[in-house]
Structure 1
Amino acid sequence: MNYGQVYYNDVANGVGCRTAFFVSGCTHHCKGCFNEMTWDFNYGVPYTKEVEDEIVESLKPDYIAGLTILGGEPMEIVNQKEIRPLLERIKREVPKATIWIYSGYTWEELTDKDNKRCHGEDTDAILSMTDVLVDGEFMLDKKDLMLRFRGSSNQRVIDVPQTLKSESVVLSKYNDRDESRKL
């Protein structure tokens, strides 16, 4: 797996001060994507043990709320192979860190065991370690700058633990509009 960037002390991609990890590779190719260069699975540099060590260490200070994984598409099957061990390590070494994942796949697609495009042997484990999933492709015609933590109104901010518990999608308290952005 390649990645394009790691942002330390990011405050735009989830609640609190976070580490944001932008993986490479995406087959959605959403019109108006803000990070089009990461569609290419070969974009950026290789993900290594040293990068993983830096990410895990970055999560340890008390002021860091957690890790956000975006891209590209973290939930492409090939990327899941690297994401799962990273999350397992974080859950062992930094259990206070919350995990946010941005995916162009919907919850329904990710949990459909017959959907081989995005559901593989690592998917359920990854979702079980995720606190918030922002799901759905970005749709330029539904772009809304007033939305918190998402770019278009079709996307959802999902409370994953509650969704797994109830077996139906439970929206996060962050799935709202940010009225403070009005000029």
Structure 2
Amino acid sequence: MSSTDSTEIHISGIARDSIVDGEGVRLTVFTQGCPRRCPGCHNPDTQPLIGGRMTTVGAVLEEIDENPLLTGLTLSGGEPFLQPAALLPLARGAHARGLDVWSYTGFTLEELRAQKDPAVDALLDELDVLVDGDYREEERDLTLHFRGSRNQRVIDLAATRATGMLTLLYTDE
């Protein structure tokens, strides 16, 4: 067991075979804690900073290893970027297993980059797709791909890094 396997993550729960949190069959980790408190939040039980449970990167990777049908890992919330250093080895472990990694966040990509936090930057560098922006009830649209309101973006971070230009995976227009 490596030292990163014992890294603790504060989670609300895990969906072991999600098809709604990104493309393909995914293991979705719902982190605990979100300061944004968006009205109409899809996961209000994940908002309090207390609650949920602690698990380890190693335990989540074992769950990934138990399901050969998985195509990806999704980090959701709560707010994953409240604990980027803990989620980084999980994202790396998923990539080492051939999975893609998505994350949802209430922050915009620009807000995350402006933090100039090395752990945030490292997690962003490890992600394939970022669904960014707070949920806005007045912009709710159930026809959108993998997001709940029109202000949110599904950003192809791999293409964005390759081209240096923000690249959306879905525009839904």
Unaligned runs of 5+ in 2: 1-8
Aligned counterpart for 1:160 among listed residues 157, 162, 170: 157
> 1:10 offset after TM fit, Å?
0.8
**Equivalent residues in 2 for 1:27-106, closer than 5 Å:** 27-58=35-66, 61=68, 63-76=69-82, 79-92=83-96, 94=97, 96-106=98-108
Aligned counterpart for 1:130 among listed residues 127, 130, 145: 127
Percentage of identical aligned residues = 35
Kindly report the root-mean-square deviation, in angstroms, between the aligned alpha carbons of the 2 structures: 1.6
Aligned-partner SS, 2:81: coil
TM-score when scaled to structure 2? Answer: 0.88
Aligned counterpart for 1:24 among listed residues 6, 19, 32: 32
Unaligned runs of 5+ in 1: 178-183
Kindly provide the CA deviation profile for residues 78-108 of structure 1, in whole angstroms up to 9, marking residues without a partner as x. Answer: x11210121122233x0x2010100011011
Q: 1:2·1:42 contact (CA, 8 Å) conserved in 2?
A: no
Aligned-partner SS, 2:22: coil
* Residues matched between the structures, number: 165
Q: 1:2·1:41 contact (CA, 8 Å) conserved in 2?
A: no
The whole-number CA distance in structure 2 between the counterparts of 1:176 and 1:85 is: 32
Q: 2:57·2:89 contact (CA, 8 Å) conserved in 1?
A: no
TM-score when scaled to structure 1? Answer: 0.83
Q: 1:30·1:138 contact (CA, 8 Å) conserved in 2?
A: yes
> 1:49 offset after TM fit, Å?
4.7
Q: 1:7·1:19 contact (CA, 8 Å) conserved in 2?
A: yes
- Tell me the equivalent position of 1:180: none
Query: 2:72 is aligned with what amino acid?
Result: G
